[in-house]
Structure 1
Amino acid sequence: MISKFGQHGRIAMNGKIFQGLTVLAVVASSSSIAFPTKAFAWSKAGHLTVCDYAYRTVSDEAREKINALLKADGEYRSFNYGCVEEDEMPRKHPDDHFINYDRTRVSVSDDVCPQNESCILQGIDRDLEILGDRNRTAKERAKALLGLGHWVGDIHQPLHISFADDRGGNYLLVKGLCGSGKKSNLHSVWDKCLVEKYVLQTKLSKDWAGFTVTYRAVDRLRKLTTAAEKAQWTSTQPWQWAAESYAITRKENTLYCNLNLAGTECSRPNDERISINQDYLKTNGQIAEDRLRMAGVRLAYLIEKALTQ
C-alpha cells in the first residue's frame, strides 16, 4: 500500500522506503496498485503532473515555503501528491470542482458563478487568499495550498466547465480506444484516458521504475513550454481559464455538444456510445497536454505570488 509520499526523494511502500522520484504511484510489478476506478477531475496522474510541474517551476524561495507549510501541516510531505487530496477525501467543498452553465450559454465572459451558486472560481479565490495571508496558521495555509493546486488543475479540464444534466459527460458512454464498460464515459476520457494514452507516453525505459512516469512527463512538458507561452498564460485571470475550457467543451471535435445551426445551444449527443478512435486521441490528447501545461504554469505563478510577494 502506498500512503503519504516524501518530497521527490523517498517513497513508503509495503513498509519499505525507496529512494526515487515521488510521482505516479504505479509500479508495474505490483498488481495491487492501480488507478482508482472513480472519475477524478483529471486522473491522479493528471493532478500529479500539474502540481509537480508547478513545484519544479517556482523559485527556490517559494519551494522552501511550500515545504515548510507541508511540514507544519504534517499530513502530506509531498505537494504533488497532496494535490490529489480533494478527490480522495470526503469533499469539504464539493461545488469547487466545476462550473455548471446553461446549455444556451455561448461563451464565458465574467467571473460570476451561475445561479449565484458556489463554483470553482470561488474555490480558487478563497484558497489563494488564505495561502497569502501571513496571519493564518501554517496548517490553514497548507490546506489552502493543496486546495489551490487541485482547483487550478480542475479548471483546466474542459468537461469540468460544462453542464449539470449529464454531470460533465459522466452520463455519455463511450466505446473504442478508451473502453466500453459501464464506467467508460466521455468525462473519464478527458480525466484519465487522454492523460494515460497521449500525455504520459508510457513507453518507459527499461531502466525506469514505474513511478517515474509523471516525473518524466513533466520533464518533457517543461521543455516544450516557451517563455512567451508562460507570459501569455499568466497574464489572464481564472475566469478566462474557465472560458478556455468551456470553448473546448463546446467544440465539435470534443463530441460533447450537438450545436444547433446558429451555434447558440448545445444539446446532448444521442444515446449511442461515442466512438473514441485514434484521430480523437491525437487531436484531443494534444489539447489535454496543453491544458496540463497551462495549469502547471499558472499554478506556479499563483503560488509564487502568494508566498513571495
Structure 2
Amino acid sequence: MTSLRRVRPGLAVAATLLAAATAAPASAYWEYGHQTIAQIADANVRPKTRAAIRALLAHSELLGTPECKASNISDAAVWADCIKPLKGPDGKARFGYAYSWHYQDVNICHPFDLVAACKDGNCVSAQITKDVALLKNKRAPLHDRVQALAFLVHFVGDLHQPLHAGEKDDQGGNKVLASYGGYGTARLNLHSIWDGYLAERAITSGPPIVRRYPAAVRAKIAAGDVTDWSRESWQVAHDVTYASVMADPCAPTPAHVTMDEATIEKDVPIARLEVERGGLRLAKLLDQALG
C-alpha cells in the first residue's frame, strides 16, 4: 500500500529496534512479510507451476530495473515496492501509475463496496485479477507476463495486510501515531506496526510458517475469490486492527494509540493467519495462472 501518499516505515529486526528506541525504523516488514508470503506460495504450488515461475523470472532483465531484482520469487515479492522511487528520463516517477495499485480505500465504517475504491481498476484487488489474466495469456508479450508475475506476488501480500484493505480516512492508519509495547517514535504509526513490528513477531512465533500445508488446510484457506478475500481483510481491519486500540472502531480515532503487550499477544495469531492466507491464496492463483 505504500505510495507517495502513504509512506510506511518498516523494521529490520524487532529486538534491535526495541533496544535502540532512538533509531528510526529501517525498511523491512513488507520485505520480510512479502517474502514470507512468496515463500509459502512457492512451497505449496504444483511442481509445474513452480517450474513456470522460475522460467518466467529467468527473464526478469526484461523489466529494465537493474536496481530492483526479480530473478527469484522472494526478490519478485518486493519488486513492486522497490521500483516506486525510480525516475524516468524526464525526471518523473517511472512507475507512478502503479502507486494506487497497492491498496484499496474501503471505509470500515461503511458497507463494504469495492466499486468506488477500484475506480478504473486502480486498486489492489482489480490488479490481482488483471495480473492473473495476463499470466494465463501465453500470447501476451513476455515482458508483460514477467511484470504481471512480480506485481501479483506483491499485491496478494498487500491485500492481506488489513490496512491495505480497510481504513477510516486516515491513510490506512498512517495518520494514527502509535506506541508498540514500550517502543514509540514520532514516525511510528498504526500502519507501520501492522506492516512491521507485529507481522515480524507473528511470522517468527510458533512452528515454521514456510512449509507445505496439508491439502485440506490449503483448500479451506484458499476458498473463495479476490472479492471474498478483500471483504475478509477489510473485516479484520474493523474487528481487530482498529478494535484493538479503541473501544469503538468507528468512533473518532485518537491522535495517538497504544498497543500494550496484552493486545500484541492477542493480535499475533491474527497477523500470522493473514500471512498464511496470503501465501496459500497466492499459491492458488499461481496454480490457476501457470499450473
**What TM-score, normalized to structure 2?**
0.77
What is residue 94 of structure 1 aligned with on the other side?
99
Q: Is the 8 A contact 1:255 1:269 kept in 2?
A: no
Q: Is the 8 A contact 1:128 1:148 kept in 2?
A: yes
Is 1:280 paired with 2:280?
Answer: no
What amino acid sits opposite 2:163 in the alignment? L
> How much has 1:164 moved relative to structure 2?
6.2
1:221/1:113 CA distance change after superposition, 3 Å: farther
Structure 2 gap ranges (5+): 1-11, 16-22, 62-68, 85-94
Encode CA deviations 1:196-233: one digit per residue, 9 max, x unaligned: 223224xxxxxxxxxxxxxxx8x722559443331122
Q: Is the 8 A contact 1:178 1:189 kept in 2?
A: no
What is residue 295 of structure 1 aligned with on the other side?
278
CA distance in 1, matches of 2:24, 2:137: 35
- After the TM superposition, which of the residue ranges 154-163 and 68-77 deviates more from structure 2? 68-77
Higher strand share: 1
Is 1:54 paired with 2:59?
Answer: no
CA distance in 2, matches of 1:140, 1:35: 37
Is 1:37 paired with 2:26?
Answer: yes
CA distance in 2, matches of 1:61, 1:259: 48
* 133, 137, 143: which one aligns with 1:129: 133
> How much has 1:258 moved relative to structure 2?
5.6
Higher helix share: 2
Structure 1 gap ranges (5+): 1-24, 29-33, 202-216
Q: Secondary structure at the match of 1:43?
A: helix
Describe how 1:243-254 pairs up with structure 2 within 5 A. Answer: 243-251=231-239, 254=242
- After the TM superposition, which of the residue ranges 282-291 and 75-84 deviates more from structure 2? 75-84
What is residue 71 of structure 2 aligned with on the other side?
77
Describe how 1:218-297 pairs up with structure 2 within 5 A. Answer: 220-222=208-210, 225-251=213-239, 254-255=242-243, 266-271=250-255, 273-297=256-280
What amino acid sits opposite 2:159 in the alignment? I
Describe how 1:155-194 pairs up with structure 2 within 5 A. Answer: 155-163=159-167, 165-177=169-181, 179-194=183-198
Q: Secondary structure at the match of 1:221?
A: coil
Q: Is the 8 A contact 1:257 1:266 kept in 2?
A: no
Q: Is the 8 A contact 2:162 2:241 kept in 1?
A: no
> How much has 1:101 moved relative to structure 2?
2.1
- After the TM superposition, which of the residue ranges 125-134 and 97-106 deviates more from structure 2? 97-106
> How much has 1:300 moved relative to structure 2?
0.6
Q: How many residues align?
A: 255
1:36/1:65 CA distance change after superposition, 3 Å: farther
CA distance in 1, matches of 2:75, 2:233: 24
Q: Secondary structure at the match of 2:115?
A: coil
Encode CA deviations 1:222-279: one digit per residue, 9 max, x unaligned: 559443331122220111111111111111664478676xxxx8233222x2111122
Q: Is the 8 A contact 2:166 2:234 kept in 1?
A: yes
CA distance in 2, matches of 1:277, 1:81: 33
Q: Is the 8 A contact 1:99 1:114 kept in 2?
A: yes
What is residue 114 of structure 1 aligned with on the other side?
117
What amino acid sits opposite 1:235 in the alignment? A
**What TM-score, normalized to structure 1?**
0.73
Give me the identity figure in percent. 26
